[in-house]
């Protein structure tokens, strides 16, 4: 089974709550991963808060084209719960 992000919600600072297609909900803190040409702009909170799930790529992405692999997000996330 391929891992997909199915839902995302902004929490605070650079933290997001993600739901995955395996029924897991994880909180992810991306503050330490925002370096490099494509990710540096996400340090601007106005841009960071424009995250959305791209249904074509099955992960989250921002208007500037930045995205993270769902496997990476899952690995660094802290499990909150399983969705029933």
Number of folded domains that form the chain: 1
Q: What CA dihedral angle connects 12, 52, 5 and 35, to 10 degrees? A: -60
* 3-state secondary structure (DSSP) of residue 43: helix
Question: Token pair of 14, please?
Answer: 């650079």
Give me the pLDDT at residue 82, please: 78
The per-residue pLDDT for range 26-81, each reduced to its tens digit, is 999 999 999 999 999 999 999 999 999 999 999 999 999 999 999 999 999 999 97
* Spatial contact of 23 and 82, defined as CB atoms under 8 Å apart: yes
* CATH code assigned at 22: 3.30.2020.10
CA–CA distance from 37 to each of 18, 34, 41 (Å)?
A: 24, 9, 8
- Domain hosting 25: range is 5-82
């Amino acid at each position: 089974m391929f891992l997909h992000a199915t839902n995302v919600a902004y929490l605070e600072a650079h933290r997001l709550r993600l739901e995955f297609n395996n029924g897991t909900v994880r909180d992810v803190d991306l503050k330490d991963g925002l370096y490099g040409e494509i990710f540096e702009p996400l340090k601007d909170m106005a841009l960071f808060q424009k995250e959305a799930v791209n249904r074509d790529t099955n992960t989250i992405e921002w208007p500037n084209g930045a995205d993270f692999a769902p496997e990476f997000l899952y690995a660094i996330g802290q499990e909150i719960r399983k969705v029933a």
